[in-house]
Structure 1
Amino acid sequence: MTSRAHPFMPNDTDDRKAALLAVLGLDHVEPLFAQIPAAHRLAALPDLPPALTSEVELARYLKQTLARNRPAADGLSFLGGGIWQHHVPAVVDEIVGRSEFLTPVWGTPSSDFGRNQAWFEFTSQLGALLEMELVGLPVYSWGAALGHAARMALRLTGRRRLLVPAAMCPQRRAMLDGYAASVDPAMQILVEAVPCDAAGRIDLAALGAMLGDDVAAVYYENPAWLGGLETGAAALATQAHGAGALVIAGIDPSCLGVIAPPGALGVDIAVGTIQPLGIHMHAGGGLGGFIASADDPRIAAEYPTLLNSLATTVDGQMGFGLMLFHQSSYGSRELGKDWTGNSTYLWAIAAAAYMALLGPAGFAELGRLILARTALLADTLAAVPGVTVPVTRGIFKEVVVDFAGTGRDVASINAALLDGHDILGGIAIDTHRALFAVTECHDEADIARLGAALAEVLA
């Protein structure tokens, strides 16, 4: 008996499936999924609720589900660690909402000149911030960019060891480990952690002891996950290059108005996030990672991303288009340098608009303001009885707070802040330490409110 079509999936009837399989010359669907490892597949269907068969039911269900959210922007949030509550100018939202940017996410490499020009503006402006000539279109996240860069370093050097800070965002480290544990033995990477100080900065003496002629690259972050600005970046690059290793730097671009860019510090490949560049804190989205380098043909040949460039048209005019398309997974599928996707290309438009609005003076102003707010947050929390702030200066956006002296754990403190004061506290580093983030969206009153609420919760 032929099953009836699902209202939202009209091609799922038995006769339609049979017709599709016949065109493919198959009797069943199993060969279509043979490349998926058995460990990644369900042995049996999960116990799912009944299908929603009407749009009315679906709309009601989605509204009820969304109503359970407590958006960070609706209260006072000190969450950070990789995605932050930055101000997004209204004009950025207006631009990314326009149909000419929403709809032409994809086309042929030589079409859509307006879209290609907008992408070129993104890569050019970000390259100017980083002082690096070559910037790819964004990948899924900072962690994905790091994973790609690590594999680029392996291909460039033929070496397998990657040295990274011991203090890394757990999600970012998990993504890196996923890339390192490739199903292809030739692309497997040994990731080793280098000791760090209390602000997450790499211990240069420990790094020197770990370097060898089998190290493909050294990775550091500026600022570090725990907030520390990496003052030893130039010395780190000298050490790494002396051992024949590449240098990969993870960058939060919102700090580039107040610190030296990676291009001036001997960095070979820069990666990082574009979320601070005009992108809201979306649940399940709003992320994007970049990869940048010098315009070195050897490095360019290892990019897995799409690369945008200028070209001369047949009538002698200037045009914009994609280059080295063949080496991406779009051009060569599984034979490409790595798999990449286009889910974040709209955020390149947002970032281009944001960077154009701020300009160099705006980035400097933003950086100075966040530095001041970070110092104020550190001093305010350090003044709360029983609370310890290990590092109060030389940090950007993130403050490590130690509650061990209060006898309370982070989970209970955060629950009390949320339930009693409508404040989202910091991200737990461990049982007693948390990472509190501050941006230009927090004023002095917000920070004072957090200090008073913590004092009350811990009293």
Structure 2
Amino acid sequence: MTATPPSGPAPRAAQAPHAHPYIPNSAPEVKRAMLEAIGAAGVEDFYADIPEELRLRRPLDLPAPLRSEAQLVRHVGGLLARNTSTREVLSFLGAGCYPHHVPAVVDEVVNRSEFLTAYAGEPYEDHGRFQAMWEYQSLMAELLAAEVVNVPVYDGFQAAGTALRMAGRCTGRARVLAVSDTGPDKLSKVVDYLRPEHQLVTVPVRADGRADLDAVRAELAAGDVAAVWAEAPGYAGLVDEGLPELGELAHAAGALYVVGCNPASLGVLAPPSSYGADIACGDIQPLGIHMSYGGGNAGFVATQDDERLVAEFPTRLFGLVPTAVEGEYGFGDVAFERTSFAVREEGKEWVGTAAALHGIAAGVYLSLMGPHGMRELGETVLARTAYAKQRLADVPGVAIPHADAVHFADFPVRFTGSRTAGEVNAALRERGIFGGAVRTDRDPREALYCVTETHTADDIDLLADTLKEIAQ
């Protein structure tokens, strides 16, 4: 017998308009009905706010569709194999995503099916997630010397934007002052998150990297500032001694004081609430969350138990409540009607899926570390950072800006020889080392290098010795 070859699929041009097999809304007739229902002429109406310079205006350069799972696995595996992770080479990258040690217990707990598959966390499939989030909030509150901490939002960038919008709602004012050295990506995200109700004004820092108190005072004189926003430490890791005075200036002008902080530093640095911050915010990635190729982020917002502030939290808050059984407690939402989960478009802000699994990871990490462990972590990072600054300052062709300041984890390095920071990074990569994050927002010869407790003195010595060969 002669087998008849199977006929292949019809050519694309002869097929009906494409509908994705797993996305019902991609069917043309469904799209049409949805647009008619809301009175939109087309999908383009939804993108009217996106600036023209951000639009591609051409189809994405994508490969042909893969028709089987086996093909997809092979293709994605090949793409991933092109990456080199920070676990494979010595890395000094930081600038917001840090290489801290993640205890094995953290991964063991968060990969349990009760947590890993509890997407929304409602009672019918919760299996203890509400309690786990309450425990996380309690541990974070102790670390931050605060009384109210939210369920994590997407990342520290969103947490900063949320904290500043909270300040705007509390004060009824529109302007926000960014007074610290802040990364360009974070500034861009916060500007976008605040508009159109609020305007972010960036107050340039002094030549030594610290906040310019006189410039801040001048901006506050107008009486229309909702919040003074400082970072502790700043983008370049600098710890500013002027942080308490910034809070005094803000409060004297009727503004709130918002401080973004690295939670891993709070075993050795004072929490923002101790020097006047009304709202603290930041990213919990340093607390037991893997770098994940630059991901693995989740944001926190923290305040004292002030009804005015608590009413402005747009995110979920879990509280402890007694049950009908004496001695037993339950865990549930506090003032759920504040959120967009309850009132949708009438919510304080639109808040979608929380990064709750990362919050559970941070809770496990904090419970393992305890106060003594967090202090030991902070002391180790401070000591390693100081040692790295000292070693690199002795390298010809390398200068350490603001060398007299206290830096935590991140610190700036300026290359004074013939190579830019990017060129130095390329030479380091050839030797199996990831250099620092180049400060493209400031000086192409400057980069932010990072050391944590995972770096040994030998690692730092190797970096210094290698830079001696390539930095001049």
TM exceeding 0.5: yes
Provide closer, same or farther for how the CA distance between residues 456 and 346 of structure 1 changes in structure 2, counting only shifts above 3 A: same
Q: Distance in 1 between matches of 2:213 and 2:300?
A: 26
Which residue does 2:409 correspond to in 1?
397
Provide closer, same or farther for how the CA distance between residues 29 and 9 of structure 1 changes in structure 2, counting only shifts above 3 A: farther
Q: CA deviation at 1:159?
A: 1.0
User: Does the residue aligned with 2:245 lie in a helix, a strand or coil?
Assistant: helix
- 1:159 and 2:173 are equivalent in the alignment: yes
Q: CA deviation at 1:43?
A: 6.5
Q: CA deviation at 1:138?
A: 0.7
- 1:422 and 2:435 are equivalent in the alignment: no
Which residue does 1:50 correspond to in 2?
64
Provide closer, same or farther for how the CA distance between residues 109 and 207 of structure 1 changes in structure 2, counting only shifts above 3 A: farther
Q: Distance in 2 between matches of 1:25 and 1:339?
A: 22
Which residue does 2:157 correspond to in 1?
143
- 1:453 and 2:462 are equivalent in the alignment: no
- 1:202 and 2:211 are equivalent in the alignment: yes
User: Does the residue aligned with 2:398 lie in a helix, a strand or coil?
Assistant: coil
The answer on whether the counterparts of 1:113 and 1:319 sit within 8 Å (CA) in structure 2 is no
Which residue does 1:411 correspond to in 2?
422
Q: Distance in 1 between matches of 2:146 and 2:408?
A: 22
- Post-superposition Cα deviations, 1:414-458, rounded to whole Å, max 9, x if no partner, equal 100111x11111111121111101100001000000000101112
The answer on whether the counterparts of 2:149 and 2:302 sit within 8 Å (CA) in structure 1 is yes
Q: CA deviation at 1:325?
A: 1.8
Structure 2 counterpart of 1:454, one-letter code = L
Which residue does 1:274 correspond to in 2?
284
CA RMSD of aligned residues (A): 2.6
Which residue does 1:378 correspond to in 2?
389
Which deviates further from its counterpart, 306-315 or 371-380? 306-315
Q: CA deviation at 1:10?
A: 5.3
Structure 2 counterpart of 1:238, one-letter code = E
Q: Distance in 2 between matches of 1:11 and 1:154?
A: 38
Q: CA deviation at 1:342?
A: 2.2
Provide closer, same or farther for how the CA distance between residues 44 and 4 of structure 1 changes in structure 2, counting only shifts above 3 A: closer
Q: CA deviation at 1:230?
A: 2.4
Which deviates further from its counterpart, 391-400 or 298-307? 391-400
Identify which of 373, 395, 409 aligns with 1:362.
Answer: 373
Structure 2 counterpart of 1:204, one-letter code = L
Identify which of 439, 446, 454 aligns with 2:452.
Answer: 439
The answer on whether the counterparts of 2:25 and 2:31 sit within 8 Å (CA) in structure 1 is no
Q: CA deviation at 1:109?
A: 6.5
Structure 2 counterpart of 1:101, one-letter code = F
Which residue does 1:175 correspond to in 2?
189
Q: Distance in 1 between matches of 2:24 and 2:110?
A: 35
Which residue does 1:220 correspond to in 2?
230
Provide closer, same or farther for how the CA distance between residues 290 and 109 of structure 1 changes in structure 2, counting only shifts above 3 A: farther
Identify which of 350, 355, 377 aligns with 1:344.
Answer: 355
- Post-superposition Cα deviations, 1:346-387, rounded to whole Å, max 9, x if no partner, equal 001100000000100001100100010000010011000121
Q: Distance in 1 between matches of 2:359 and 2:87?
A: 23
Structure 1 counterpart of 2:384, one-letter code = R
Provide closer, same or farther for how the CA distance between residues 296 and 343 of structure 1 changes in structure 2, counting only shifts above 3 A: closer
User: Does the residue aligned with 1:74 lie in a helix, a strand or coil?
Assistant: coil
Identify which of 275, 287, 293 aligns with 2:297.
Answer: 287
Structure 1 counterpart of 2:21, one-letter code = M
Q: Distance in 1 between matches of 2:81 and 2:195?
A: 39
Which residue does 2:11 correspond to in 1?
none
User: Does the residue aligned with 2:226 lie in a helix, a strand or coil?
Assistant: strand
- Post-superposition Cα deviations, 1:253-301, rounded to whole Å, max 9, x if no partner, equal 1110111111211110000010000000012630011001011111111
Q: Distance in 1 between matches of 2:302 and 2:25?
A: 47
The answer on whether the counterparts of 1:168 and 1:225 sit within 8 Å (CA) in structure 2 is yes
Q: CA deviation at 1:324?
A: 2.0
Provide closer, same or farther for how the CA distance between residues 12 and 268 of structure 1 changes in structure 2, counting only shifts above 3 A: closer
Count of paired positions: 449
The answer on whether the counterparts of 1:279 and 1:350 sit within 8 Å (CA) in structure 2 is yes
Identify which of 131, 134, 141 aligns with 1:127.
Answer: 141
TM norm structure 2: 0.89
Provide closer, same or farther for how the CA distance between residues 99 and 248 of structure 1 changes in structure 2, counting only shifts above 3 A: same
- 1:233 and 2:243 are equivalent in the alignment: yes
Stretches of structure 2 lacking an aligned partner (at least 5 in a row):
1-13
Q: CA deviation at 1:232?
A: 2.0
Which residue does 1:296 correspond to in 2?
306
Which deviates further from its counterpart, 164-173 or 195-204? 195-204
Provide closer, same or farther for how the CA distance between residues 327 and 394 of structure 1 changes in structure 2, counting only shifts above 3 A: same
Structure 2 counterpart of 1:234, one-letter code = P
Which residue does 1:192 correspond to in 2?
201
Stretches of structure 1 lacking an aligned partner (at least 5 in a row):
none
1:311-330 aligned at under 5 Å gives the runs: 311-316=321-326, 317-330=328-341
Q: Distance in 1 between matches of 2:35 and 2:274?
A: 58
TM norm structure 1: 0.91
- 1:37 and 2:39 are equivalent in the alignment: no
Q: CA deviation at 1:4?
A: 10
Which deviates further from its counterpart, 266-275 or 156-165? 156-165
The answer on whether the counterparts of 2:147 and 2:303 sit within 8 Å (CA) in structure 1 is yes
User: Does the residue aligned with 1:36 lie in a helix, a strand or coil?
Assistant: helix
- 1:334 and 2:345 are equivalent in the alignment: yes
- 1:80 and 2:94 are equivalent in the alignment: yes
The answer on whether the counterparts of 2:97 and 2:294 sit within 8 Å (CA) in structure 1 is no
Q: Distance in 2 between matches of 1:146 and 1:264?
A: 19
Q: Distance in 2 between matches of 1:248 and 1:38?
A: 32
Sequence identity, in percent?
42
The answer on whether the counterparts of 2:179 and 2:216 sit within 8 Å (CA) in structure 1 is no
Q: Distance in 2 between matches of 1:157 and 1:163?
A: 14
Provide closer, same or farther for how the CA distance between residues 323 and 169 of structure 1 changes in structure 2, counting only shifts above 3 A: same
Structure 2 counterpart of 1:261, one-letter code = P
Provide closer, same or farther for how the CA distance between residues 164 and 87 of structure 1 changes in structure 2, counting only shifts above 3 A: same
Provide closer, same or farther for how the CA distance between residues 416 and 45 of structure 1 changes in structure 2, counting only shifts above 3 A: closer
Which deviates further from its counterpart, 37-46 or 66-75? 37-46
Provide closer, same or farther for how the CA distance between residues 11 and 279 of structure 1 changes in structure 2, counting only shifts above 3 A: closer
The answer on whether the counterparts of 2:320 and 2:332 sit within 8 Å (CA) in structure 1 is yes
The answer on whether the counterparts of 2:115 and 2:357 sit within 8 Å (CA) in structure 1 is yes
